[in-house]
Amino acid sequence: MTTQPEVADVVVDEFDGGPDTVQRAAATPEELQPYAELGLRDDEYERIREVLGRRPTQSELAMYSIMWSEHCSYKSSKVHLRQFGEKAPPSDRLLAGIGENAGVIQISDDLAVTFKVESHNHPSYVEPYQGAATGVGGIVRDILAMGARPVAVMDPLRFGAADHEDTARVLPGVVGGIGGYGNSLGLPNIGGEVVFDPCYQGNPLVNALCIGVLPVDRLQNKAAAGPGNIVVLMGAKTGRDGIGGVSVLASATFDSESDQRRPSVQVGDPFMEKLLIEACLELYDERRVVGIQDLGGAGLTCALTETAAAAGTGMTVELDRVPLREPSMAAHEILASESQERMLLIVEPDQLEAVLKTAARWGVLATAIGEVTPPGPDGLPGRLTISWQGHTVVDVPPGSLADDGPVYARPMREPADLILLQADRAETLPRPSTPDALRETVLRMIGSPNLCDKTWVTEQYDRYVLGNTVLAQPEDAGVIRVDERTGLGVALSVDGNGRFARLDPYTGAKLALAEAYRNVAVTGAKPLAVTNCLNFGSPEDPAVMWQFAEAVRGLADGCAALGIPVTGGNVSFYNQTGAAAIHPTPVVGVLGVLDDVAQRVPMGFPKPANPDGDIIFLLGETRLELSGSEWAWVTHEHLGGVPPKVDLAGEKALADLLTEAARVGHLTAAHDLSDGGLAQVLVEACLRRGVGARIKLPEEFATGSMPFVFLFSESAGRAMVSVPHGQEKAFTALCTEHGVPWTALGVTDESGGQLEVRDQFTIGLDELREAHSATLPRLFGA
Amino acid sequence: MARVVVDVMLKPEILDPQGQAVANALPRLGVNDVTSVRIGRRIEIEFAGEPDLDRAREIADKLLANPVIEDFAVHVDAAGTVKPASDSQESQPAEAPA
Amino acid sequence: MARVVVDVMLKPEILDPQGQAVANALPRLGVNDVTSVRIGRRIEIEFAGEPDLDRAREIADKLLANPVIEDFAVHVDAAGTVKPASDSQESQPAEAPA
Amino acid sequence: MSARIGVVTFPGSLDDGDAARAVRIAGGDAVGLWHADADLHGVDAVVLPGGFSYGDYLRGGAIARFAPVMETIAAAARGGLPVLGICNGFQILCEAHILPGALIRNQHMHFRARDQRLRIEAVQPVWTNAFNDSQEVVIPIKHGEGRYVADERTLDELEANGQVIARYLGGNPNGAQRDIAAISNAAGNVVGIMPHPEHAVDALTGPSTDGLGFFTSMLKFLAGAPGLAGSGGAGGSGRPAGAASTAPADQGAS
Ligand SMILES: Nc1ncnc2c1ncn2[C@@H]1O[C@H](COP(=O)(O)OP(=O)(O)O)[C@@H](O)[C@H]1O
Ligand SMILES: [Mg+2]
């Protein structure tokens, strides 16, 4: 499957002046239908005919082609994703899990949070600003559909080489779109990632995460329960936005023609979404909706079939009632349209008037378009029938679209080059071994695109709106206050490392999980739950499919080991240009809870209360692990070997220690170690508040290239903390108790204004800052 | 003067939230007979020598318009010129002196 | 069709960074004979009945332009109309159907 | 009874909750005012909060200016009612010609959010009496259209009359003329400020608590001006039962 023409291109709705009706379809069984052009296989088309007992109408064909696409049906991933449920540790906090619009976790007697990450990769390549903007809009509606008020967003992003000319087109547009939409909605952006790698050239990854908060008793669901209830479409008018967008933009591989294809893209209206949010929340609080579902990919088709299928009911819909932006739209276009900022509500008839009134108060269009009908006799699910201009154009069992799509166990094969790749270890590369070379390496690394200061990006995002942001970028995790009365809050981090996953997808997925988990733990929060976005190449390539299966297995095993469940996520396949797939890129989000956000631990060394400074400790073990590291890439353009060892029991011990130490007030700062190793973390911790540090290397790392290894190895399971004078004994005792290895590194030093690594180098904070912060403005303009 | 104007508008099928917001505001100004408002960009390009339409078209296609969502038209500037308030009766005398 | 166009431009004395950015980018496209670029707004208003220039002028004055920083001009739509790509030779032919 | 401060919610207002919280932290009563309701419900002062009213699609504040509540506020402001316009609120005040000049697209064309150093340039009785002369403060900015412009004569007048309330320090974030971050009208009761003092009222969630001074100043002013308190609103009848009655409250978020 490569390029697919758009739905609008191949489906002709008009026959003898009227639409293709169910009646007509039954009478003309042999009529040729362009199912292949819509991306359906012969056997899939046959199954549709079997389900219906006739050929599908044109509208039905469009609906099946969308709902059975990879993007909507998860047909290649389903068999693997099951593990998330099967291996998940039991949890009584999980109020809604995989399969819902987003997972919901209870965090106190009366409050719950819901969060999820999703991709909008292909649209963001075609139209960076709108693609990214509507990516934010889409995930926010998922959160809204659960009954939650969205309270923050995050944006894990990946681009091609930083100095590639197309990155200069894509990155500013994507960042502008994320900011433009999120800022206008009044959602603080509390973190994300900006990663550059040539493998994302032509396939940028634009993932967006949203978190929302709800009173436990406001939880909503999507089931269209209660025959006789009214189906209401609320929000923007329906236009020809992204018609076929799901199948074309989100499922098909890009090729050289994509430039000319110029697919129709969706344009977002954050103002409308803001009104939609307020209107929905008011309706929830007034208990006016029975069921609710957002309209995202596959638009009305998806919302109608999923709500009906979830309840086992049927539904009748009059398509003529759907408010249109363009009156000339055909039935299948209305059904496939991905116009943004719309929600589908199921309401009891006697609530309809009140619902319409609330919508009007917020200036949002709301229209009754249909009715819930009873299930069939013998307990069979009901049918979805849709009329258009007086004719029945759709008559289907909704479950056949929503739940019973094709499922494939696709062939898998370890990539042929993997053995050689793993044998080519970065630990054999020449390493800096003199103080001067080390000093130069520090400055070069902290200014490299992946490690440099991301202020150019994050300055375009509002972090303050709503007044509950306790930590945001560049901190390790975002921390949001959820309850002003008690100080209850949550911490969130998203992480992924495509290079590690390329070298070993099983371990790479675990490493991404471990990093996000650690990032949450360093703030003092207790990690609770996981979301993920799995960005991969074509599932039709057995090597990609193997990477995918391994990554899922790694993430599921990792979650089981850490005792936190996957609550939801998203799969993005076909991130591929020609035969070249992106690095397998599992992006993992971890959510933790803080009983009192006032106890959160920041990443930067604070101005110490004691003139002698705070004491700096490194927690965890440093090994010679350079394969897949940022250093190997920046200085040798090298990718090979095996990724760092992952020890989830050790991660858990570290997290427990950090949570406990934060609770008793031992920590003035804590910063997790990942890309760029200890050197990066020291520099970031110093620059954050302009407080220097004096460091002494442990003896076993004092000579030859060992200082370099200590500073740049990317061993997992480590964090750096600072502890006030007088508390170090109690702190190290706590470390011993938790079985976490610790090393005293030195002290913070406010007056010095420099970072000193004894016997190696001293660099002034100004020089560090200049090296760290000049890169993105140089590349993308001041 | 060698001025070429490039008008860039969203393609008709693309949502124009900006135009819509303005259209929705008009009734509050007592205007009720407007059926639609669309907002695009007007770009005035001054050439050193002769106005060069082909050049302008190329610039528009490559730089000024986003062909994924926008259409454009190019013309040599004529009557429609927006002049400083002081010498154009169409525009309002500015309240603050220039 | 009863369409009125309102063109709104920043007053000449007000710095237009967007126009300047475009002007600065032109040499990279091999264009060296452009002396200035200014970017403003083009607003297309459809009236239910007759195109009403006075009405449009009033709307422009009150809402569409801010007289402190902008000038505007109003005219009934004519040649300069931006048409969908498919039937306008000025814009890029789009391969994907609308 | 503490002073009642109205906080207006337009469709697209975002920082209305934060402004109300700042009012409460400062010791006042926050009263929600709804864009479509011209009644000011007898409030003693008004805050026009930040956000993107009506999407801010044409120019920031251009459409909000015509909201029914704004007609009343404009009249009351000319009559002396203390009004603080923050960010979008500042834009609305300029669009309504209650304050001179305009706020246009940032010179670098990006939305920019950062913790900004400012110098308080005018310690005046209504909105800045809690500050010291030339006090330096840190207050967040976050805007895409914050470049203050006015013609030279207006700028000279603002300076001469002490109407420049605050200036950017340590780098002008948007290209504003003469580094202007906040101004007042000639009478001093109306202030427009681009930075967000309501985001700097609590050390846990803001870069400082410097923003609180604007709100405490106004409360102190109202306390010392009993004649003004309660008489600000045009037609102060029918007070709503609770604060923020029209703004949808959500216990999850605030
Ligand atoms: N696209 C982005 N949006 C928001 N915050 C970002 C983005 N990219 C990076 N950040 C923030 O910058 C900081 C540094 O990022 P990174 O080095 O990836 O952190 P870490 O290695 O701790 O995960 C983090 O606070 C991260 O949340
Ligand atoms: Mg981190």
Tally of CB atoms within 10 A around A254: 22
**C37, C48, C57 ranked by CB distance to B43: nearest:** C37
The ligand 1 site (C-beta within 6 Å) comprises: A 155, 157, 189, 191-194, 454, 457-458, 473-476, 495, 519, 672, 674-675
D4-244: in CATH 3.40.50.720: no
Percent of chain D with pLDDT over 90: 87
Would you state the pLDDT for residue A733?
98
Show the 3-state SS of D69-136. HHHHHHHHHHCCCCEEEECHHHHHHHHCCCCCCEEECCCCCCCEEEEEEEEECCCCCCCCCCCCCCCE
Instruction: Give tens-digit pLDDT for A716-731.
Output: 999 999 999 999 999 9
Instruction: Give tens-digit pLDDT for A380-413.
Output: 999 999 999 999 999 999 999 999 999 999 999 9
What letter would DSSP give residue C48?
A: S
Catalytic residue among A120, A332, A671, A772: A120
- Report the C-alpha gap between D83 and A167 in whole angstroms: 45
Indicate the angle between helix axes A270-285 and A352-361, nearest 10 degrees: 140
Q: Transcribe A175-242 into DSSP letters.
A: HHHHHHHHHHHT--EEEEEEEE-GGGTT--EEEEEEEEEEEGGG-------STTPEEEEEESPB-STT
Looking at chain A, which residue has its C-alpha nearest residue C95? A261
For D191, the 3-state DSSP assignment is strand
CATH topology for the B2-76 domain: Mth169; Chain: A , (3.30.1280)
Residue pair A189/A179 in contact (Cβ under 8 Å)? The answer is yes
The enclosing H or E element of A543 equals helix A542-562
Instruction: Report chain D's mean pLDDT, rounded to a whole number.
Output: 90
The number of the ligand 1 atom at minimal distance from the alpha carbon of A671 is 22
Tell me the CA distances in angstroms from B83 to B75, C8, C20, C45, C74, one per residue in order.
17, 10, 19, 21, 11
For A385, the 3-state DSSP assignment is strand
The counts of H helices and E strands in chain B are: 2, 3
Do residue D154 and residue B96 have CB atoms under 8 angstroms apart? yes
Query: Is B69 touching A (CB cutoff 8 A)?
Result: yes
Query: Is C29 touching A (CB cutoff 8 A)?
Result: no
The distance of D172 to chain A (nearest Cα, Å) reads 13
Tell me the CA distances in angstroms from A305 to A37, A320, A370, one per residue in order.
23, 18, 13
Greatest pairwise CA separation for chain A in angstroms: 90
Burial class of C81 by CB neighbour count within 10 A (0 to 12, 13 to 18, 19+): middle
Q: Which of D104, D105, D112 is the mutation pick for testing C, counting most C CBs within 10 A?
A: D104
Asked whether the predicted pLDDT for residue A264 surpasses 70, the reply is: no
Would you state the pLDDT for residue A258?
37
Residue pair A267/A340 in contact (Cβ under 8 Å)? The answer is yes
The enclosing H or E element of A692 equals strand A692-695
The number of the ligand 1 atom at minimal distance from the alpha carbon of A675 is 21
Among candidates A647, A611, A423, which has minimal Cα distance to A513? A647
The number of the ligand 1 atom at minimal distance from the alpha carbon of A680 is 17
Which two tokens mark A13?
Answer: 């709705």
Tally of CB atoms within 10 A around C51: 18
Instruction: Give tens-digit pLDDT for A311-351.
Output: 999 999 999 999 999 888 889 999 999 999 999 999 999 99
Instruction: Give tens-digit pLDDT for B26-51.
Output: 998 999 999 999 999 999 999 998 88
Q: Chain centroid to CA A62: how far?
A: 28
The enclosing H or E element of A395 equals strand A391-396
Would you state the pLDDT for residue D228?
47
Q: Which of B14, B24, B28 is the mutation pick for testing A, counting most A CBs within 10 A?
A: B14
- Report the C-alpha gap between A685 and A678 in whole angstroms: 10
Dump strand ranges (E) for A26-99.
94-96
Do residue A470 and residue D204 have CB atoms under 8 angstroms apart? yes
Identity of the amino acid at A333? E
The annotation places the binding site of A for ATP at 74, 116, 532, 569
The number of the ligand 1 atom at minimal distance from the alpha carbon of A473 is 25
Burial class of A26 by CB neighbour count within 10 A (0 to 12, 13 to 18, 19+): middle
Of the bound ligands, which one is closest to the alpha carbon of residue A478? 1
Angle at A662 between CA A495 and CA A107, to 5 degrees: 65
Between A547-561, A667-681, C47-61, D203-217, the lowest mean confidence (pLDDT) is in: C47-61
Among candidates A765, A745, A206, A680, which has minimal Cα distance to A476? A680
Percent of chain C with pLDDT over 70: 78
Asked whether the predicted pLDDT for residue A698 surpasses 90, the reply is: yes
Residue range D212-221: mean pLDDT, rounded: 97
Catalytic residue among D87, D94, D145, D199: D87
Would you state the pLDDT for residue A598?
97
Instruction: Give tens-digit pLDDT for A443-493.
Output: 999 999 999 999 999 999 999 999 999 999 999 999 999 999 999 999 999
Residue range A245-259: mean pLDDT, rounded: 34
Asked whether the predicted pLDDT for residue C98 surpasses 50, the reply is: no
Would you state the pLDDT for residue C82?
62
Angle at A19 between CA A15 and CA A21, to 5 degrees: 105
- Report the C-alpha gap between A378 and A220 in whole angstroms: 28
- Report the C-alpha gap between A574 and A1 in whole angstroms: 10
Where b means 16+ CB within 10 Å and e means fewer, A97-118 reads bbebbbbbbbbeeebbbbbbbb
Burial class of A660 by CB neighbour count within 10 A (0 to 12, 13 to 18, 19+): middle
Do residue C98 and residue A240 have CB atoms under 8 angstroms apart? yes
Which of A454, A493, A714, A775 is the best mutation target for the ligand 1 pocket, counting ligand atoms within 8 Å of the beta carbon and taking the most?
A454
For A355, the 3-state DSSP assignment is helix
**Subunit partners of chain C (3 or more CB pairs within 8 A):** A, B, D
All structural domains of chain C with their residue ranges: 2-76
Nearest CA to ligand 1 atom 18: A193
Indicate the angle between helix axes A542-562 and A648-664, nearest 10 degrees: 40
Q: Which residue has the tokens 């070379």?
A: A437
Asked whether the predicted pLDDT for residue A611 surpasses 50, the reply is: yes
Would you state the pLDDT for residue D1?
65
Of the bound ligands, which one is closest to the alpha carbon of residue A518? 2
**Overall size of chain C counted in residues:** 98
- Report the C-alpha gap between D14 and D51 in whole angstroms: 4
Indicate the angle between helix axes A648-664 and A728-738, nearest 10 degrees: 150
Bridge partner residues of A112 (DSSP): A106, A214
ipTM: 0.91
Asked whether the predicted pLDDT for residue A536 surpasses 90, the reply is: yes
Would you state the pLDDT for residue A9?
40
Residue pair A585/A158 in contact (Cβ under 8 Å)? The answer is yes
pLDDT grade, residue D84 (50/70/90)?
Answer: very high
Asked whether the predicted pLDDT for residue A16 surpasses 80, the reply is: no
Does residue A259 or residue A523 have the better pLDDT? A523
Sheet containing A94-96: give its strands across: A94-96, A103-106, A111-119, A205-215, A149-159, A189-196
**Which pTM was predicted?**
0.92
Phi, psi of D197 (to 5 degrees): -60, -30
Which of A473, A672, A720 is the best mutation target for the ligand 1 pocket, counting ligand atoms within 8 Å of the beta carbon and taking the most?
A473
